[in-house]
Copies of this chain bind each other. A is one copy, B any other.
């Protein structure tokens, strides 16, 4: 868990045949579909600015949400741009965002792809995916806000898929705005 100084490629055999695992009674294929659906809803929640529902994607106990630069990850420096280690901290984050809305209005639009299930244990799926977030400002101009990688630990909690841990490894440094917005 955490393992900030371990790079994915150290243990990954990228070109290996996909495992035909089963998880919670689902085939690998069905698991893939359900994971993608979870990620699709997660992203739409943020893009629709329905942030009050954002914490619901995480387990109630001992969840972890973290935004960290790829540079720091590769150097083993565990300094996060955003770190929430409880459900309450996720909720506080949204409340702060709504209260301290001093930034010019913008819209976000996520594109997500390359959802790869890497490790499967009885409890947990380790899932990687690439994301790019585009922002459109009030003047109608769209640009790249953040590109990076989600490294997620996903579990079943009360019959639903939830994030036990979501680590956002950002390629892009835009510390000013990253500090306040969930990705």
Q: Which residues of A does B touch, CB under 8 Å?
A: 7-9, 12-18, 29-30, 32-34, 37-45, 47-50, 53, 56-57, 69-70, 107, 109-116, 128, 130, 132, 134, 136, 139-144, 146-149, 159-161, 171-174
Contacts and interface: CB of A to CB of B under 8 A. Distances in A.
B44 A114 contact: yes
Contacts of A9: 45, 48-50
Copies in the complex: 3
A29 B18 contact: no
Given A47-B130, A134-B171, 13 more contacts: A8-B48, A12-B44, A15-B45, A15-B53, A18-B37, A40-B116, A47-B149, A109-B149, A110-B130, A132-B134, A134-B144, A136-B147, A140-B173
A29 B40 contact: no
Nearest to A38: B18
Contacts of A15: 41-42, 45, 53, 56-57, 160
B113 A110 contact: yes
A66 to B, nearest CB: 18
